[in-house]
Amino acid sequence: MEIVIEDLNVIYHPGTPFAKQALTDINLRVASGSFVALLGATGSGKSTLIQTVAGLIKPTSGQLRIGNQVVTPKSKQLSELRRLVGVAFQYPEHQLFEETVAKDIAFGPRQQGLTEEQVAERVEEAMRWVGLPPSLKDRSPLALSGGQMRRVAIAGILAMRPQVLILDEPTAGLDPRGQREMLDMVGRLHREQGLTVLLVTHQMEEAARYAEQLVILSEGRIALTGSPREVFGNEQALSRLKLDVPEITKLIMALNRNLDPPLPLTLFSVEE
């Protein structure tokens, strides 16, 4: 499902001494079914942006459209939008609470007025999508590995059949193998289910490897957006991001493993 954001501003506690502009003049178009990585330093606005897209925060000005759902500062009902967008916040496994994997995954679809049979189908399907064997269905989620618990949490979101999936640092705290498996799983979901994926990550390498579009936020604004090739090929814009030279070199090397033909490995002059 396409996401279109126009002139979006988000201010926390507007009109008070604590007013804080978290997003400024965001314009962004995410094509239906694309895989977007959202990057930026802590405090750059990533979390505010995903919460806005998920219908958890209303814009202070501007608007957001997902499919045919439009959200403006005046919007009252955001429940339709929330139905379209599934969000896995950081460490989503901390939210698991049912006695069994199947019950936990069933929690969301059960709120959607489905029959027990339909709910069971959704659970089975979501477990398959995240690569959990059916034999784990009646196990306690707490008895699983960290990576499996996280899959259960993501399966619970997928079982509600969102059109857009937002993942906030889905590899945080996993070992390298778990990280790889998690990202491969997300890539597969994107390819096979046609989900529009928004992945928040600190790791440029992750972003470059999996995403079709990168969005780099800096101080609440979009500093740079485009395909990995466009972003990393834009020497001037990258140098404005104040990354250090070893970091950029590392990025380009990482990116070049996935780009054909590779980008030239020049060293950037970085402004202080």
Shortest distance, position 84 Cβ to ligand ADP, whole Å: 21
With respect to ligand ADP, which residue has the nearer C-beta, 53 or 152? Answer: 53
Shortest distance, position 66 Cβ to ligand ADP, whole Å: 19
With respect to ligand ADP, which residue has the nearer C-beta, 12 or 268? Answer: 12
With respect to ligand ADP, which residue has the nearer C-beta, 158 or 241? Answer: 241
Amino acid at 104: D
Residue list 113-152, contact with ligand ADP (CB under 6 A): none
Shortest distance, position 44 Cβ to ligand ADP, whole Å: 4
With respect to ligand ADP, which residue has the nearer C-beta, 48 or 201? Answer: 48
| 149: CB partners within 8 A, 6+ apart | 93, 96, 141, 142
Q: Does 59 bind ligand ADP (CB under 6 A)?
A: no
With respect to ligand ADP, which residue has the nearer C-beta, 17 or 176? Answer: 17
Q: Does 163 bind ligand ADP (CB under 6 A)?
A: no
Distances (CA, A) of 108 to 71, 103, 150: 23, 10, 16
Q: b vs e for 52-69, b when ≥16 Cβ sit within 10 Å of the residue's Cβ?
A: bbbbebbbbebbbbbbeb
Shortest distance, position 22 Cβ to ligand ADP, whole Å: 3
CA–CA separation, 245 and 106 (whole Å): 48
Mark 186-205 with x for binding to ligand ADP (rule: CB under 6 A) and - for no binding: --------------------
Give the pair of three-digit tokens for residue 120.
């069971």
Enumerate the H helices of 54-159 as residue ranges. 79-84, 101-110, 116-129, 146-158
CA–CA separation, 101 and 105 (whole Å): 6
**Helix, strand or coil, per DSSP, at residue 210:** helix
With respect to ligand ADP, which residue has the nearer C-beta, 22 or 132? Answer: 22
With respect to ligand ADP, which residue has the nearer C-beta, 91 or 268? Answer: 91
Q: Does 12 bind ligand ADP (CB under 6 A)?
A: yes
Q: Specify whether the CB–CB gap between 233 and 250 falls below 8 A.
A: no
Shortest distance, position 216 Cβ to ligand ADP, whole Å: 11
Shortest distance, position 237 Cβ to ligand ADP, whole Å: 19
CA–CA separation, 104 and 102 (whole Å): 5
Shortest distance, position 166 Cβ to ligand ADP, whole Å: 12
Please give the residue whose beta carbon sits closest to ligand ADP in the complex.
47
Residue list 27-56, contact with ligand ADP (CB under 6 A): 40, 42-48
Which residue, among 258, 234, 260, 226, has the nearest Cα to 31 in the 3D structure?
Answer: 226
Which residue, among 210, 266, 189, 200, has the nearest Cα to 233 in the 3D structure?
Answer: 266
Q: Specify whether the CB–CB gap between 172 and 91 falls below 8 A.
A: yes
Q: Does 22 bind ligand ADP (CB under 6 A)?
A: yes
Which residues make up the interface to ligand ADP (CB under 6 A)?
12, 20, 22, 40, 42-48
